[in-house]
Amino acid sequence: MELLTLDPLTLALAFGVTVIAAGVQGTVGFGFGIVSVPILILVDPRLAPVPQLCVQLPLTFMMLYRERKHADLRSVGYMTLGRLPGTALGMLLITVPEAARNGIIGMITLIAVALLSTERRVARNARTETAAGFFGGAADYLSAMGGPPLALLYKEDAGPTVRASLALAFSVGIVMTLGGRVVRGDFAALDLWLGLFLVVPTLLGLWLSRYTIGRVEGRPMRLSILIISGACALALLAKAIF
């Protein structure tokens, strides 16, 4: 089993980071990729980003079921429409060397941090929703971090609407991204084994989020996410350059 080629400490770190990332996403509706991917790539490049796509699928399905009455179907439809060409763009960009790809992922993370740091409210309409889907699709294929462009549209909405709508958009989008990776051959056996291994910490993090919803969401959590993600993004860029 290829999973055994990873040492126990690496797997333990992946387990712990995944619990935290799933707890964040279960609480605020997004954040799994932006918390886990930059950290895990620094730990071992084999840990990300494809395993995070695998494990986000059951995570988003369960989140959608939990708050299914609050999903914004119209907005998700436009996001999905934009996601099709965005995924195609990601399939083209994935051919770059690993060092350049790490740099791209670092830049995507920094852009995501910048987007989520702004206090400006982006109007939600067909044009912005389609554009968010496009950029989210490309980022998701490359880095499993397609959430920030979508989350930016829901900054002013109530928690249940954010979590349900993003869960639906992510569920559809991840199926498209994984399908593209399988067709193109960008999906290894180790990715599947790691995805299966990370299901347990993902479910644990989602379960823990039941106790954090309404308690730790808001500015403190968002600030923590941005600081951690920004630091990891800078480390990835340094690794790509030096």
Tens-place pLDDT, residues 159-201: 788 899 999 999 999 999 999 999 999 999 999 999 999 999 9
The pLDDT confidence band at residue 151, using thresholds 50, 70 and 90, is confident
Q: 239 near 42, Cβ under 8 Å?
A: yes
pLDDT at 224 over 90: no
Q: What is the pLDDT of residues 62-95, one digit of tens each?
A: 999 988 889 999 999 999 999 999 999 999 988 8
What does pTM read for this prediction? 0.89
Q: What pLDDT score does 242 carry?
A: 72
Mean pLDDT (the chain, rounded): 89
Q: Is the pLDDT of residue 209 over 70?
A: yes
Q: Is the pLDDT of residue 142 over 70?
A: yes
Q: How confident is the model at residue 221 (pLDDT cuts 50, 70, 90)?
A: low
Distance CA 160, CA 167 (A): 10
Distance between CA atoms of residues 49 and 143, nearest Å: 5
pLDDT of residue 217: 60
pLDDT over 70 at 218, yes or no: no
* Distance, CA of 44 to CA of 51 (rounded, Å): 12
Q: What is the pLDDT of residue 184?
A: 93
Query: Closest Cα partner for 169 from 89, 92, 86, 106?
Result: 86
Residue 120 has pLDDT above 90, yes or no: no
Whether 121 shows a pLDDT value over 90: the answer reads no
Choose among 23, 21, 62: nearest CA to 209. 23
Cα torsion 162, 204, 31, 6: sign: negative
Residues 6+ apart with CB under 8 A from 189: 2
Percent of all residues in the chain with a pLDDT value above 70, rounded to a whole number: 96
189-197 and 199-208 are packed helices; what angle lies between their axes, rounded to 10 degrees?
Answer: 40
Give the position of tokens 């910490």: 201
HEC-encoded secondary structure of 172-188? HHHHHHHHHHHHHCCCC
Grade residue 106 by pLDDT with cuts at 50, 70 and 90.
Answer: confident
pLDDT at 32 (0 to 100)? 94
The interaxial angle of helices 98-117 and 219-241, nearest 10 deg, is 150
